[in-house]
Amino acid sequence: MPTHEFILALDQGTTSSRAIVFDRSGAVRGTGQREFRQYYPQPGWVEHDAGEIWRTQIEVAREALRNAGASAADVAAIGITNQRETTLIWERATGRPLARALVWQDRRTAPICEQLRQDGHADWLQERTGLVVDAYFSGTKLCWLLDNVPGARQAAERGELAFGTIDTWLVWHLTGGKVHSTDATNAARTMLYDLHSHDWNDDILALLRIPRSLLPQVAPSSGEVGRTLPELLGGAIPIAGVAGDQHAATFGQACFTPGMAKNTYGTGCFMLMNVGDQPVASSNNLLSTLGWMLPSPSGPRTTYMLEGGIFVAGAAVQWLRDGLGIIPRSADVEALATQVEDTDDVFLVPAFAGLGAPHWDPYARGAMIGLTRGTTRAHIARATLESIALQSAELLACMNADSGIDLSELRVDGGATRNDLLMQMQADLLGVPVVRPRVAESTALGAAGLAGLAVGFWQSLDEFAAQWRADRRFEPAWPADRREARLKRWRQAVEHAKGWARQD
Question: How far apart are the C-alpha atoms of 163 and 186, rounded to whole Å?
Answer: 12
Question: Looking at residue 406, what is its pLDDT?
Answer: 79
* pTM greater than 0.85 (yes/no): yes
- Residue 352 has φ and ψ, to the nearest 5°, of -65, -25
Q: At what angle do helices 245-252 and 442-455 cross, to 10 degrees?
A: 80
pLDDT digit string (tens) for 178-231?
999 999 999 999 999 999 999 999 999 999 999 999 999 999 999 999 999 999
Assess contact for 18 and 245: CB atoms under 8 A.
no
pLDDT digit string (tens) for 27-51?
899 999 999 999 999 988 999 999 9
Question: Looking at residue 259, what is its pLDDT?
Answer: 85
Average pLDDT, the chain: 93
Q: Please give the average per-residue pLDDT across 289-308, as a whole number.
A: 89
Q: Mark the binding-site residues for ADP, compressed into ranges.
A: 14, 18, 267, 314, 415, 419
Question: Looking at residue 386, what is its pLDDT?
Answer: 96
- Listed in sequence order, the residues at least 6 apart from 123 whose beta carbon sits closer than 8 Å to its beta carbon are none
Q: Mark the binding-site residues, compressed into ranges.
A: 14-16, 18, 84-85, 136, 245-246, 267, 314, 318, 415, 419
Question: Looking at residue 1, what is its pLDDT?
Answer: 37
Q: Could you give the angle at the alpha carbon of 122 between the alpha carbons of 193 and 364, nearest 5°? A: 105
Q: Please give the average per-residue pLDDT across 86-97, as a whole number.
A: 96
Share of the chain above pLDDT 90, in %: 78
Assess contact for 113 and 121: CB atoms under 8 A.
no
Q: Mark the binding-site residues for sn-glycerol 3-phosphate, compressed into ranges.
A: 14, 84-85, 136, 245
pLDDT for 299 beyond 90 = no
SS (H, E, C) 261-278: EEEEECCCEEEEEEEECC
pLDDT digit string (tens) for 342-386?
999 999 999 998 888 888 888 899 999 999 999 999 999 999 999
- Give the architecture (CATH level 2) of 6-236: 2-Layer Sandwich (3.30)
Exposed e or buried b per residue across 409-439, where buried means at least 16 C-beta atoms within 10 angstroms of its C-beta: bbbbbbbbbebebbbbbbbbbbbbbbbbbeb
Question: Looking at residue 448, what is its pLDDT?
Answer: 96
Question: Looking at residue 504, what is its pLDDT?
Answer: 64
Model confidence band, residue 310 (pLDDT cutoffs 50, 70, 90): confident
Q: Please give the average per-residue pLDDT across 233-241, as a whole number.
A: 96
264: left (phi over 0), alpha (psi -120 to 50) or beta: beta
Assess contact for 280 and 302: CB atoms under 8 A.
no
Question: Looking at residue 483, what is its pLDDT?
Answer: 94
CA distances, 315 to each of 38, 322, 330, 355, 415 (Å): 12, 10, 10, 14, 11
Q: Mark the binding-site residues for glycerol, compressed into ranges.
A: 84-85, 136, 245-246
Question: How far apart are the C-alpha atoms of 471 and 442, rounded to whole Å?
Answer: 13
Model confidence band, residue 408 (pLDDT cutoffs 50, 70, 90): confident
Q: Mark the binding-site residues for ATP, compressed into ranges.
A: 14-16, 267, 314, 318, 415
Q: Structural domain boundaries of the chain? A: 6-236
